[in-house]
Amino acid sequence: MSTAAKTGTEPGTDQITSFTFGELLSSRTVIGQTLKELGETHDNLWVLTPDIGATLVEFRDAYPDRFVDVGLSEQACVGIAAGLANEGNIPVVSGMLPFLSMRALEQVRSDICYPNLPVKIVGTHGGLVGNGGSTHYAVEDLGLMTSLVNMTVTSIGDPLMVGEVLRQSMSMTGPLYIRLAVGKKDKVVYEPGSVTVEIGKGITAREGTDLTLFAHGETVSQALDAADILGAEHGINARVVDMFTLKPIDEDLILRCAEETGRFVVVEDHLAYGGLASQMADVIADRGIRLDGFRRLGIPQVFAGFGEDTELRDKHGYGLQATVDAALAVTGGRPAESESTGDIA
Amino acid sequence: MAATITRPETDVSELEDLSYELREKLLLLCGEYDGSVHIGGDLSCADILTLLFQYGMHVDPQDLHNPERDRFVLSKGHAAVCMYITMAIRGFFDYREIVDTYGQLGSAYGMHPCKVQLPGVEVSTGSLGHGLPLATGMALHGKRSGMDHRVFTLMGDGETGEGSVWEAALAAHSNNLGNLVAFIDRNRQLMTSFSEERVKLEPYPDKWRAFGWNVIEVDGHDMAALVQAFDSLPAPDSDVPTVVICDTVKGKGVDFMERNLAWHAGSLNDTDLQRALASLAHGRKAA
């Protein structure tokens, strides 16, 4: 992306940015407000949904001629979006990710990615969230989406970032996938204006020298909490990187973190294989990066049951305590002796 | 109707000649190309494609992006070569180039159409059941923009087994897309079986009527009837999408291919090519 911008500094977002750092905010509300705002400046912006439209009401009411709810028809929804994009429009498809990423996968691949159309897919239920059970958890989606040629893949926790990424995406020529958790109550991770959001670039959410915790989506907050515990209880200075763009992955940042911290822990609300850790492992192997430690935390090969999000993460070994434990394991439980232990081949 | 693009003034007998030319050129390509061509399903839709490209549609080979043009989505993407040749006859492409490069490395002409590689093709297709949702999106744009072009798609009857077709049928009806016209090549054959033996599509017109569509039934090889069907299409600003169910024969025009499951796809050696051309010529004289 050529444009970089600060969160919450764009005109028209005053209402959203009145929320403060650390508060809970609905990503869905941010999406609704942002789409309404963008609908005014982009008369070719369309919003489509397969019956998941509660927070799209503002857009629908403002631009009824550019809103389509097809009902429960994910395949047609994505195909119609592709048809609209074929006519020069910028369609945003909003829905639940388990269904958009799997039921409509072939439409996403062949109708959107193949001709490289600017369709955005934004949705909720990425990871073990919402207590819906395995039909309603998107846990393979990042593996599927990162496999697709031309697709840009993001996973976002901070609700204000969702709006920013949507704004930036208006100038993108190809498709974009935006993954959210439940999207009802999301922690504002970054003080508005404090970080640069640029699609394709990771965000260093916390500086640190002993290891880097890589995360995306809701696990960014968890990684930050783990870093606090590591600092307070073990004297370990953990860096936290919000790798909100999984594709294209920020290789330079991975290289820099390897040089500067030498040890990686990746924690994500996705199958442990196929998501961010796998993307990073590819870079590490391809670039010949030698690390002093690498751990991946994510969902094992199970269909997870019911429970609260944090309970499920604990149960399946990628919760807060597991993150702290993995960091202790790769660091040997103590701060690194030198600031630079990474060795780049 | 679209103001800046005029339709060709072709009469029925000229259209029949153009259909014959299309079939002949298809067979000649099939004879030159080493690989397999979906000749059965090409021949069944040759008259429909001739109707659309040589008569019905407002398209201009010299003005590919004119917003007032009619759009065409080949949902049965495996009939791409039939579409390429029809379009070549209309002046979009060069027939000799199609024959000389078909399926070869670097060619824009392959088994399924790719809009990225071949400007003039509206949509890349191949996977079945994708065309109607795509055409629905394109028609939705036209409808909501108040434009008066039409969006046409051509499906095989077999591919209407895909659920996505019926999702789009619901959406097109729900959004009042009178500018959307789906032609169906009802040749009653899948790749490995006759459709009514394996998949009972009948009562087929009733299925479309039940989904809220205007249904026209026509002999898909009777050019006069096809022209009449086209002329009876509701105006693009009407509110009900139309399906034109064309009763066709897979392999139409070549006696040993007609209704023969062995000729879903194939290639022609010199002997078979001569037999096929002779059969085609004989059929023309008989008609």
Query: Are A195 and A6 a contacting pair, CB within 8 Å?
Result: yes
Give B131→chain A minimum CA distance, Å. Answer: 8
Out of A187, A220, A251, pick the residue that ends a domain: A187
pLDDT for position A23? 77
CATH of the domain at B274: 3.40.50.970
pLDDT for position A338? 45
Output the six-digit token pair for B120.
């003039």
Residue B126: closest C-alpha in chain A: A110
Tell me: do A42 and A146 sit in the same domain.
Answer: yes
Query: Are A280 and A249 a contacting pair, CB within 8 Å?
Result: yes
Give B225→chain A minimum CA distance, Å. Answer: 30
Strand ranges, E, within A127-237: 152-155, 176-179, 186-187, 196-197, 203-206, 211-215
pLDDT for position A55? 80
CATH of the domain at A134: 3.40.50.970
**Residue of A81, A107, A114 lying closest to B124 (CB–CB):** A114
Q: What is the dihedral of CA A321, A324, A328, A333, to 10 degrees?
A: -90
The answer to the question of residue A336 being in a domain is: no
Tell me: do A161 and A208 sit in the same domain.
Answer: no
Tell me: do A155 and A209 sit in the same domain.
Answer: no
**Residue of B126, B130, B175 lying closest to A79 (CB–CB):** B130
Angle (CA) B28 B71 B128, round 5°: 65
**pLDDT confidence bin for A1, thresholds 50/70/90:** very low
The answer to the question of residue B4 being in a domain is: no
**pLDDT confidence bin for A25, thresholds 50/70/90:** confident
The answer to the question of residue B3 being in a domain is: no
CATH of the domain at A297: 3.40.50.920
Interface test with A, best of B140, B160, B166, B173 (most A CBs within 10 A): B140
Range in A333-342, B180-189, B237-246 with the lowest mean pLDDT:
A333-342
| Angstrom distance (rounded) from CA A30 to CA A26 | 6
Tell me: do A178 and A33 sit in the same domain.
Answer: yes
**Residue of A76, A81, A86 lying closest to B164 (CB–CB):** A76
**Residue of A79, A91, A115 lying closest to B115 (CB–CB):** A115
pLDDT for position A53? 76
Residues of A in contact with B123 (CB under 8 A): 83, 86, 115
Residues of B in contact with A173 (CB under 8 A): none
Residue A89: closest C-alpha in chain B: B141
Question: What ipTM does this complex have?
Answer: 0.94
pTM: 0.93
Give A82→chain B minimum CA distance, Å. Answer: 6
- A107 close contact with B: CB closer than 8 A: yes
Out of A133, A157, A187, pick the residue that ends a domain: A187
The answer to the question of residue A33 being in a domain is: yes
The answer to the question of residue A11 being in a domain is: no
CB environment B87-113: b (16+ within 10 A), e (fewer): bbbbebbebeebbeebeeeeebbbbbb
Out of A142, A166, A187, pick the residue that ends a domain: A187
Tell me: do A315 and A174 sit in the same domain.
Answer: no
Query: Are B65 and B122 a contacting pair, CB within 8 Å?
Result: no
Number of structural domains chain B divides into: 1
The answer to the question of residue B187 being in a domain is: yes
Pairwise CB contact (< 8 Å): B136 & A71: no
Tell me the β-bridge partners of A266: A214, A296
Pairwise CB contact (< 8 Å): B124 & A81: no
pLDDT for position B153? 98
Average pLDDT (B39-47) is 97
Give A62→chain B minimum CA distance, Å. Answer: 15
**Residue of B114, B126, B137 lying closest to A83 (CB–CB):** B137
- Over pLDDT 70: what percentage of chain B? 99
Output the six-digit token pair for B47.
């008259």
Number of structural domains chain A divides into: 2
- Over pLDDT 90: what percentage of chain A? 82
Give B4→chain A minimum CA distance, Å. Answer: 18
Per-residue pLDDT tens digits for A182-241? 878 888 899 888 899 999 999 999 999 999 999 999 999 999 999 999 999 999 999 999
| Domain encompassing residue B219 | 12-286
Residues of B in contact with A90 (CB under 8 A): none
Tell me: do A170 and A77 sit in the same domain.
Answer: yes
Per-residue pLDDT tens digits for A119-160? 999 999 999 998 899 999 999 999 999 999 999 999 999 999
Pairwise CB contact (< 8 Å): B174 & A71: yes
- A80 close contact with B: CB closer than 8 A: yes
Give A88→chain B minimum CA distance, Å. Answer: 9
Residue B151: closest C-alpha in chain A: A83
| Domain encompassing residue A149 | 16-187
Average pLDDT (A47-68) is 93
Tell me: do A214 and A119 sit in the same domain.
Answer: no
The answer to the question of residue B139 being in a domain is: yes
